[in-house]
Amino acid sequence: MLTRYTAALAAVLFVSAAPFAQAADKPTDPQIAHIAYTAGVLDIEAAKQAIKTSKNKEVVAFAKDMERDHEAVNKQALDLVKKLKVKPEDNATSQALSKAAEEERAKLAKLKGAAFDKAYIENEVAYHKQVNGALETLLIPSASNAELKSLLETGLKIFQGHEQHAEHVAGMLK
């Protein structure tokens, strides 16, 4: 059990040394729900900042896609936890994610024009890569409720789409 967890953690660490490394243990369903929901909220906030700041048509369109999709997925997540009577539980991973996002937001707030666009999109690629890696190697395998697992799996496919979409926009900005 410990070895399996260590392997999963090592895989996450390989993707990124950031927030998920702080998960002290295999997350429970209430923690997984909280992490997934928080990850969505943070990307919506990033999108709102980009919609307000960017003048680039492609970047704004991408940010609106992020806002719309993550809101739809998070609504599904809320409906599910209500149905399952699960209470999302705050945890170290959610907190670390929020802290990293706050720092990124402050960094982006100092930029404008093409520099902002480039930094926002590059962070979107990195962020989706990080969240997708965590979903794949830690959150989905750890989820014990079948409906939660299935929602996370669909979420993963949507966010993998976002990662490719962000890479495409990043390519256009070069």
Partner 1 sequence: MKAGALIRLSWLAALALMAAPAAAATIEVTIDKLVFSPATVEAKVGDTIEWVNNDVVAHTATVKGGWDVMIPPKKSASLTLKAAGAVDYFCRFHPNMRGHLDVSP
In the complex, minimum distance from the CB of residue 110 to partner 1, in angstroms, rounded to a whole number: 30
Q: What values do phi and psi take at 26, rounded to 5?
A: -60, 120
Q: How far apart are CA 45 and CA 67, in angstroms?
A: 8
In the complex, minimum distance from the CB of residue 162 to partner 1, in angstroms, rounded to a whole number: 7
* DSSP structure string for 58-114: HHHHHHHHHHHHHHHHHHHHHHHHHHHT------HHHHHHHHHHHHHHHHHHT--HH
State which of residues 58, 65, 89, 122 lies at the interface with partner 1 (CB under 8 A). 65
State which of residues 11, 21, 158, 173 lies at the interface with partner 1 (CB under 8 A). 158
Q: Is 82 in the site for partner 1 (CB under 8 A)?
A: no
Q: Is 78 in the site for partner 1 (CB under 8 A)?
A: no
State which of residues 29, 43, 67, 69 lies at the interface with partner 1 (CB under 8 A). 69
In the complex, minimum distance from the CB of residue 165 to partner 1, in angstroms, rounded to a whole number: 6
Alpha-carbon dihedral sign for residues 28, 34, 37, 43: negative
In the complex, minimum distance from the CB of residue 64 to partner 1, in angstroms, rounded to a whole number: 10
Tell me, by CB under 8 A, how many residues bind partner 1: 17
Number of helices followed by number of strands (H, E) in the chain? 7, 0
The token pair at 95 is 């907190």
Residue among 75 and 112 whose Cβ is closer to partner 1: 75
Segment interacting with partner 1, rule: CB under 8 A, options 5-13, 40-48, 110-118, 151-159: 151-159
Q: How far apart are CA 87 and CA 161, in angstroms?
A: 29
Q: Is 76 in the site for partner 1 (CB under 8 A)?
A: yes
DSSP state of 28: P
Contact residues: partner 1, CB under 8 A: 65, 68-69, 72-73, 75-76, 153-154, 157-158, 160-162, 164-165, 168
